[in-house]
Amino acid sequence: MEAEIIQRFLESVGQKADVDLYLRLFRAQEKESFALIAADAQIVRTALDPFHFDLRILAGLGLCPVVLLGLFDAKDADRQATRVHDWLLEDAVPARILSSSRGAEEETVSAVRELVHAGTIPLVSLEAARDATVDGRFDVLSALASRLCTRKVIFLSATRGLEREGLPHISDVNVATDYERLVGTKGQLAPRHHTLLRQAKHLLDEVPHRMNIAVVSPLALLRELFTVSGAGTLIRKGSRVESRSTFDHVDVPRLRALIESAFGRMLRPEALERGVERIFIEEHYRGAVLLTPSPAGPYLSKFAVERTAQGDGIGGDIWNVMVREYPSFFWRARPDNPITPWYARQCDGLARFEHWHVFWCNLPPARIPAAIEYALGQPADF
C-alpha cells in the first residue's frame, strides 16, 4: 500500500495534527510495545474485512501490533488465526502464527520481538490454553503485556465500547474513580462488559508499567489510535494530581525537565521565576499545569505532559482537576501546536491571530478583551 494513500486515509480519520502526533509517539517506542489487539471469534467471523484493513494500514506505517486470538473462547483459536493470516497474506502483509499457553515463555516473547522488528504481524493463538479458565487466559495476556512493555491493549468489540442499557457508550473510564460505581449494582453494564472491565482493572494492576486499555469496534480502531478524542472506551488506571499554591514543595528542576520534554525546547531561566497562582502536578511529574495571576483572571501559563506519557490520559486527569478548582481562566497556543485542535474543543471561545490563538473558559464578556491583550503580550518562555 503506497505511503501517500495511507497518509490520506489517516487524515480522513481525524485532524492531521492528531495523526502526526500519535505517529511520532508510536514510532518513538520500542516496536514490540506498540499495541496488543485481542480479537474474539465473533470479530473474525463477522468483521474480518475492516479488521484486516486496519492491520494493512498499520503495517504500512511500520506499526505491527501483536494480535491475540482465543482470549474468551480458545477452542477454535488456531482456525481463527489461520483465517486472519490468510487474509493478510493475500494483501502481501507479512504475518506469522504463534502458539502460547502461558504467554511469557522466553521462546514466545523472543519470537514476537523478532517478528515485529522484521515488520511481521504476530498472530498469537491461545488454543493451547483452551482448558484454562478465562481468568487463566487473561493471565497469559498479562504476562505477554508485561514482558513486551505493551503501551496499549485493545479489545475489539461488536459494540462501540463499554455500554450501559439505554445509554450511549462510555468514552472514558478512570479506574481509580469510576470502577466501583460501574461494577456495582447500579452500573448497568452488560454481563460481558462487566467481566471485561473487571479483567481490565486486574490487568492494569498487574502490569509493572503504565498502560492503557481500549474497547472499540474494528470500524473505529484507527480513530481510537490516532485521534485525541478516541472512538471507543478508554480504560486507564488514573493518576493522582497534587495541587500547590507555591513552588515551595515542588521539585523545580524536575518540573522544568517535564516542561522541556513536553515542548521539545529549553525554557528560559526566568520562565519559572514569575508569580504563580496554582500548580497542578501528576504525582510522578509526568504532567503539570501552571496558572499565574493576571488582571483578567487566572492565566494558564503552561500545560505540559511528558512526551512518553502523551496519549495515556494524564493530561485529561490534570485538566479535569484544574477546571473543577478553576472553572474560569484563559490561555494561548501557537496555531501549529498539535494540541491546539483539542484546546478548541475545551474552550468556550477563542480569538485567532497570526502567531497565537487565545482561548478562554467561562470569562465574563467584559473581561475578554483584557484577557486577549494580556495573553498576546506575554513574553516567550522558550
pLDDT digits (tens, 9 = 90+) for 142-156: 999 999 999 999 999
Asked whether the domain spanning 263-377 has the same topology as the one spanning 3-236, the reply is no
* Residue scoring higher pLDDT (238 or 208): 208
Could you tell me the strand order of the sheet in which 66-69 lies?
95-99, 121-125, 66-69, 36-39, 152-156, 212-216, 233-236, 172-174
Average pLDDT, the chain: 88
Please state, in angstroms and rounded to a whole number, the distance separating the CA atoms of residues 2 and 341: 28
Beta carbons of 272 and 229 less than 8 angstroms apart: no
Mean of pLDDT values over 157-163: 88
Interval 226-283: pLDDT, tens: 887 778 898 988 778 889 999 888 999 999 999 998 888 888 888 887 788 999 999 8
Joined grid coordinates for residue 46: 463477522
Nearest to 238 by CA among 205, 189, 197, 278: 205
Burial class (CB within 10 angstroms; exposed 0-12, middle 13-18, buried 19+) of 178:
middle
* pTM passes above 0.85: no
* Domain range 263-377, its CATH number among 3.90.1170.40, 3.40.630.30, 3.40.190.10, 2.40.30.10: 3.40.630.30
Answer yes or no: is pLDDT of 307 > 70: no
Mean of pLDDT values over 194-223: 91
pLDDT at 186: 61
Greatest mean pLDDT range, 19-23, 44-48, 272-276, 336-340: 44-48
Please state, in angstroms and rounded to a whole number, the distance separating the CA atoms of residues 127 and 143: 16
Task: Report the phi/psi class of residue 328: left, alpha or beta, with left for phi > 0 and alpha for psi in -120 to 50.
Answer: beta
pLDDT at 267: 87
Amino acid at position 160, single letter: R
Answer yes or no: is pLDDT of 179 > 90: no
Burial class (CB within 10 angstroms; exposed 0-12, middle 13-18, buried 19+) of 186:
exposed
| Confidence band, pLDDT 50/70/90 cuts, at residue 351 | very high
HEC string of 115-169 equals HHHCCCEEEEECHHHCCCCHHHHHHHHHHHHHHHCCCEEEEECCCCCCCECCCCC
Task: State how far Cα 261 lies from the chain centre.
Answer: 18
| Confidence band, pLDDT 50/70/90 cuts, at residue 103 | low
pLDDT at 185: 62
pLDDT at 167: 76
Answer yes or no: is pLDDT of 4 > 80: no
pLDDT at 1: 57
| Confidence band, pLDDT 50/70/90 cuts, at residue 32 | very high
User: Lowest mean pLDDT: which of 60-64, 104-108, 109-113, 329-333?
Assistant: 104-108
Considering the chain, what percentage of its residues have pLDDT values greater than 90?
53
Extents of the domains making up the chain = 3-236, 263-377
User: Lowest mean pLDDT: which of 43-52, 152-161, 175-184, 211-220?
Assistant: 175-184
Please state, in angstroms and rounded to a whole number, the distance separating the CA atoms of residues 146 and 27: 20
Mean of pLDDT values over 67-91: 93
Considering the chain, what percentage of its residues have pLDDT values greater than 70?
95
Joined grid coordinates for residue 260: 522541556
* Residue scoring higher pLDDT (315 or 96): 96
pLDDT at 187: 59
- The neighbour count for residue 17, using CB atoms within 10 Å, is 16
CB proximity list for 172: less than 8 A, separation 6 or greater: 230, 233, 234, 236, 313, 316
CB proximity list for 134: less than 8 A, separation 6 or greater: 71, 72, 195, 199
Please state, in angstroms and rounded to a whole number, the distance separating the CA atoms of residues 31 and 28: 8
pLDDT at 171: 85
* Domain range 3-236, its CATH number among 3.40.1160.10, 3.30.420.40, 2.60.40.10, 3.40.30.10: 3.40.1160.10
Please state, in angstroms and rounded to a whole number, the distance separating the CA atoms of residues 159 and 127: 25
Distances in whole angstroms, Cα of residue 93 to Cα of each of 25, 26, 53, 54, 59: 23, 19, 10, 11, 7
pLDDT at 227: 80
